[in-house]
Structure 1
Amino acid sequence: MKETMINCNNVSYKYRANENEEEKYAVNGVTFKVEKGEFLAILGHNGSGKSTIAKHMNALLLPTEGTVVVDGLDTSNSECLWEIRAKAGMVFQNPDNQLVATIVEEDVAFGPENLGIDPKEIRERVDDSLKKVGMYEYRKHAPHLLSGGQKQRIALAGILAMQPDCIILDEPTAMLDPSGRKDVLNYIKEVNEKYGITIILITHYMDEAAQADRLIVMDNGKIILEGKPREVFSNVKKMKELGLDVPQVTELCYELRKEGININSNILNVDEMVNVLCQLK
């Protein structure tokens, strides 16, 4: 039986846009678990609550109602905050907001230094983390001279150097070009598959979500769909009602089925599509 990394139980979060308005639910009664070593993607349009729930998973926000437990530690216990954030690191949308030093290797060392790690071990962690994300050769460079994708990989290396059990990525590729997006996602997948680190990816890109082990789709602060990518994306009509896309080949299958062609509706990529079309008579 797999161990639980994060357990969100009946989590709600209320906020006020301004003093004169009534409280609103950003997250409303959300319950789910994330297993250790899992790659979970959370989808939803702007305002769906996906980024709010992400910030609960390393105690940047605390629930108005319900509980969030990270590897056995309750986020409402203020004495556990540092330990929780060491276990569940977070990478944000804009890498420039996470880079604090003028040299790449100094930036990656920043987190471990704050944890009080021995300098010799920090050196080893920095080199190891930069190699994991393919940025070791840039260790003496200035971060501000790097591309967006390279900066995001440095931000990821900074979290890896803290040796977390889980990494939460809040739309990490939103500001990148397609090439940068592809590179960052490949390194995220490698970190998950090769090193067993739990990944929680908040995204609005369907092609990224399709590569996860499991999907959660949120709308209006609630979980609307949950399951493996094939299961979730086969609900094309429901996804469109939520204002979300599905992978292009999945949508093509959906349209072909509407025209009476007997084709599987849970196809996710071009290779699968080609194989199925070749088998049609």
Structure 2
Amino acid sequence: MKDNMIECQNLTYKYINGEDNSERYAINGVNLEVNRGEFLVILGHNGSGKSTMAKHLNALLIPTKGKVYVEGLDSSDINNTWDIRTKAGMVFQNPDNQIVATIVEEDVAFGPENLGVESSEIRKRVDESLERVGMYEYRKHAPHLLSGGQKQRVAIAGILAMRPKCIIFDEPTAMLDPSGRKEVINTIKQLNKEYGITIILITHYMEEAVEADRIVVMDDGKVMLEGKPKEVFSNVPLMKKIGLDVPQVTELAYELNKSGINISTEILTIDEMVNELCQLK
């Protein structure tokens, strides 16, 4: 087994329709390796298979065919399920569904308590996790009084307190307003850069994907495109064909290039665009 955080080999998952017994493939033969410490984004529109994929990465779903390994542990062996979920934590769309206690610090303590961690160690982990997500000063607050972005950061702290090596985020900003989204994405980037936690972010927001190490684009249960953000987003026609946008400046660069202006199509930010335009003769 290679030294990957996660490896999917020919991962296939199909749903059976209860009414007519017909089969539908949600994931169809995906091969994917996730490196330790990587910030990987999986992009795709609704129904592309990206959320089904996320649930396989910490054994919430088991493959119909193929294998998923988390740090070498086979997810289809039920003896590995507990270990896999402590190594790979998961944060979902709706923070209200993950918050179980009436006080923030008690909620963050819930996971390590279930792991049987000693109380003095739990105290340390709770404080540390809340500090990491910038929510320490709210530790005595009631979660239902917090904003959406704050609740999601508490949910992230709850996962952090279990000391995972990898966190899978399944559209964690889908229910948040722009400022809440920004808070959560900044927190995710910080966990990756400062603490070396492997991040897998499932999203359909292009701007959240720009700073990833690598992007995987899914459509119809398959990987359609993979590479660094510049490589993926410069492929404007394919992205449009599968119903995804690209950053506005990337599309502008593509259109300028198409109309004969000699400008790089691998532009992701306004600063890069300004730089390119200033170099035009």
TM-score of Structure 1 vs Structure 2, range by shorter chain: over 0.9
Once the two structures are superposed, residues 181-225 of structure 1 have per-residue CA deviations (whole angstroms, 9 ceiling, x without a partner) of: 111101100000111000000000001011110000000000000
Q: Offset at 1:169?
A: 0.1
Q: Residue 185 of structure 2 aligns with which residue?
A: 185
Q: Residue 65 of structure 1 aligns with which residue?
A: 65
Q: Residue 173 of structure 1 aligns with which residue?
A: 173
* Runs of 4+ residues deviating >3 angstroms: none
Q: Distance in 1 between matches of 2:19 and 2:106?
A: 42
Q: Residue 114 of structure 1 aligns with which residue?
A: 114
What TM-score, normalized by structure 2, do the two folds share? 0.98
Q: Distance in 2 between matches of 1:276 and 1:179?
A: 30
Determine whether 1:207 maps to 2:207. Answer: yes
Q: Offset at 1:274?
A: 1.0
What TM-score, normalized by structure 1, do the two folds share? 0.98
| Identity percentage of aligned residues | 72
Q: Offset at 1:264?
A: 0.3
Q: Distance in 2 between matches of 1:203 and 1:3?
A: 26
Determine whether 1:252 maps to 2:252. Answer: yes
Once the two structures are superposed, residues 196-255 of structure 1 have per-residue CA deviations (whole angstroms, 9 ceiling, x without a partner) of: 000000000001011110000000000000010100101000000000000111001011
Q: Distance in 1 between matches of 2:265 and 2:146?
A: 41
Q: Offset at 1:17?
A: 3.5
Q: Distance in 2 between matches of 1:43 and 1:276?
A: 27
Q: Residue 125 of structure 2 aligns with which residue?
A: 125
- Describe the SS at the equivalent of 2:251: helix
Q: Distance in 2 between matches of 1:262 and 1:18?
A: 55
Q: Distance in 1 between matches of 2:123 and 2:71?
A: 27
Q: Residue 25 of structure 1 aligns with which residue?
A: 25
Q: Residue 278 of structure 1 aligns with which residue?
A: 278
Q: Residue 161 of structure 2 aligns with which residue?
A: 161
Instruction: Flag structure 1 segments of 5+ consecutive residues without an equivalent.
Output: none
Q: Residue 227 of structure 2 aligns with which residue?
A: 227
Q: Distance in 1 between matches of 2:157 and 2:49?
A: 27
Q: Offset at 1:18?
A: 2.8
- Over aligned residues, Cα RMSD in angstroms? 0.9
Q: Residue 92 of structure 1 aligns with which residue?
A: 92
Q: Distance in 1 between matches of 2:167 and 2:51?
A: 14
Q: Distance in 2 between matches of 1:134 and 1:17?
A: 44
Determine whether 1:42 maps to 2:42. Answer: yes
Determine whether 1:16 maps to 2:20. Answer: no
Q: Offset at 1:37?
A: 0.2
Q: Distance in 2 between matches of 1:23 and 1:120?
A: 50
* Count of matched residue pairs: 280
Query: What is the one-letter code of the residue matched to 1:133?
Result: V
